[in-house]
Amino acid sequence: MTDGPAPHGTDGTGAAPARTSTPPPVPGSRPVRRAGPAARTADDRAPLRAAPARVPLPDAPGPCDATTRLTAHGCWYPSADPSGARVAFICDRGGVPQLWAGPVDGDEVRLLDSAPDPVREVSWSPDGRWIAYTTAPGGGEHQRVLCVRPDGTGRHLLAGSEPGTSAYLGCWALDGSAVAVTVAVPAGRTVAHDATDFPAGADGHSGRLSTRGRPGGDGRAVLLGGTAVTGEEQGPLSPPGAAGITASDDPQYGRAHPAGGFEDGLSAYLIDPDGPAAPVLLATETDGATLRVCDLSADGRLALLRRGPRGRREAVVVRTTDLATTCVVPVADGDPWIGRFSPQADTVWLRSDAQREFAALVAVGLDSDGRPGSRSVVAERQGSDLELLQFTHDVRAAALAWNIRGASELEVVETFPPGSAGAVTGPPRPVPLPHEVVTRIAATGRGGLVLALSGSQRRPGVWWLAGGASPLRTPWSSRDGDAVRAGRPPVRPVPLSLTARDGLPLSGWYHRARGRGTARPAPCVIHLHGGPEEQERPVFNPLYHEILGRGIDIFAPDVRGSSGHGRSFLDADLGTGRFAALDDIADCAAHAVLAGLADPARLAVMGRSYGGYLTLASLVRHPDLFRTGVAVCGMSDFATFFEGTEPWIAQSAMHKYGHPERDRELLRSLSPMSRIDALRVPLLAVHGEHDTNVPPGESEQFVRAAREHGHTAELLTLRDEGHEFLRADNRRLFRRSAADWLQRHLCG
């Protein structure tokens, strides 16, 4: 159910740090100055009159020696400084994902934020003066955007401090003068701007914002985190008929956005990190599922945004002079960083699956007004998705990570190589990888790259590539031998392929517990990933390691609806296709049994998020197949899920599951609660207390109903956690509790 890929291996074994207090906001004293490349003169865009005050926070305690809390740790989400000599990254060596920085070739790392709130994303400014990052207060789903200087001073909040709001990080202006931030504001908040028309866009529509409640507003910006656009009028991204390829006017894409009813406001701004400057409004959406600013052209004329619900993402080019939408192109799910402008903004490079089964690198020509011209596919792999796309700072080379049946292959190509005419790429240069999966790519000022890697034999770490043929491991990343205690190395999974009962090819990864002969069937857990659009990858999972250590095998399949297998496979679970996805689970269990791997009398099912829903649904639809189940943060009733989840999550989820009103009967029949009478086996449910993605009530009502029907059912609620379990002590408690439960019910 998460919007975007979760970090791999955010796990540890130490206790979470104590919570620290945050001082109240104080008014800023710096003069107001304009932020970002869209700022030209004082009168072509009026400043925001009620800009948020700068909120200073205590500095981190300073350099930290290598902590002894964890014998092993993961490092991920790197972002390099302009020189490429230092990297900011997320690391859980202190027991919770925190912001750290260190040299790529040294081990003197520094903790930049010692607060206990988990860090989600990191971005070093192009001028090197600031590091922007997001945190999740209390471990929940709402986020804040902060900035800190590389020496740990000047830490302050940029957005997301207002109650009920959530802020998301976008790109930096190329000169470092502003950072893009999207703020989600719940419906019902007071609108604080006047009804004023923007200049007509490419389609002749004005993009008018409804305004109530703040006299004297100029209509071009709204109070950061304190307003919502009403549903009566649409913001500048909404008018139909904008130039370019749109989902609504081209039926071949089949990507019409669902009707709304969840009227949250999403607003994207450029914010000056240095002080109380006026945020500059770039875009607004009502009833929007996502909105992220991915790039700004070098001259500041154009902005590249990603919007739309899961499975129906779009790249949108917006002119910053009048906020007119000039180009809309369908793009692929997955990593939100979908593309870049060329240096002259005459081309936009995109990771797109428009009219394709698999995502490829697409170049769209742009005229001087940002309108689209020619479009061409410049890099593709047969049967494989382009999963990650990153450009060097000068956009003269691109790193392409291809998803090959769950593993990654990385290559670097030149863009516009010497002697070329038009948008083309040079011959690919393969980059050998020491581990199976690339989770993030970041550019460095030297024309090099830093890579976040994960694999079946190691915790996630950061590697750097500076002109050489092979990446080099950073000294502060954990080594392979640190993944687990000595004497029990990780299990390397093997791929399995099968055919569903309706003929659809399925696949997954089988993890066989050590110490058992191949001819002896084992107790086995069918483990189901979240999403639904996620994919099972061959990476080290401490939960799997814990379960395998109890002598229990794991089969982790990709049922229909998973990513990495093409657009048709991704959409195969829509509508009534979800019943077939539930049959896929039974088919996967049967395949493991018929292959002689799994003991048919000792099968369990387990999963998190959407996998938690599949677990509950499998237990009531295949009641005689499994001996027990472990459902983690899963939906049990779609009606209560849509009522309780975040409005922007509901908006995105409607495309995947169905509309809560129009598809009421379908959703009821798909809900595990509607078949609770069929439950036959014990259940363990696990949930984070601050989960606003899938509210804890989804687990509570199913456990309560199971007990009322006389079944053994327990609920483990993890404190200070949201939809993702990020604190080391909670993760350790979760995996030990789950492994204990499975061992008790499968192994006697």
Element (H, E) at 101: strand 98-103
Main-chain dihedrals φ then ψ at residue 534, nearest 5 degrees: -70, 175
Question: Which residue from 32, 45, 48 is spatially nearest to 279, judged by alpha carbons?
Answer: 48
Main-chain dihedrals φ then ψ at residue 354, nearest 5 degrees: -60, 125
**What is the predicted pLDDT for the residue at 681?**
97
Residue 334's region, left for phi above 0, alpha for psi from -120 to 50, else beta, is left
Q: Mapped to the 3 state alphabet, what secondary structure does 131-156 carry?
A: EEEEECHHHCCCCEEEEECCCCCCCE
Predicted structure pTM score = 0.82
Main-chain dihedrals φ then ψ at residue 138, nearest 5 degrees: 70, 5
Quote the DSSP letter at residue 266.
Answer: E
**Alpha-carbon separation of residue 226 from 32, 141, 184, 266 (angstroms):** 19, 18, 9, 11
Point out the residues of the chain with pLDDT beneath 70. 1-54, 60-72, 186-264, 276-277, 467-468, 480-487
Element (H, E) at 593: helix 577-594
Summarize pLDDT for 522-560 with one digit per residue, the tens: 999 999 999 888 999 999 899 999 999 999 999 999 999
CA 565, CA 405: separation in Å to the nearest integer?
A: 8
**What is the predicted pLDDT for the residue at 547?**
96
**What is the predicted pLDDT for the residue at 480?**
65
Judged by DSSP in three states, 668 sits in helix
Peptide linkage before 493 cis (omega within 30 of 0)? no
Contacting residues for 230 by C-beta, under 8 A, at least 6 apart: 191, 210, 212, 263, 286
CA 328, CA 170: separation in Å to the nearest integer?
A: 19
**What is the predicted pLDDT for the residue at 200?**
30
Distance of CA 236 to the CA centre of its chain: 25
**What is the predicted pLDDT for the residue at 469?**
72
Judged by DSSP in three states, 278 sits in strand
CA 400, CA 297: separation in Å to the nearest integer?
A: 21
Question: Which residue from 472, 509, 363 is spatially nearest to 424, judged by alpha carbons?
Answer: 363
Question: Which residue from 23, 89, 91, 17 is spatially nearest to 58, judged by alpha carbons?
Answer: 23
Exposed/middle/buried for 624, CB within 10 Å: 0-12, 13-18, 19+?
A: exposed
**What is the predicted pLDDT for the residue at 592?**
97
- Residue type (1 letter), 600: P
Task: Supply 145's token pair.
Answer: 């955007």
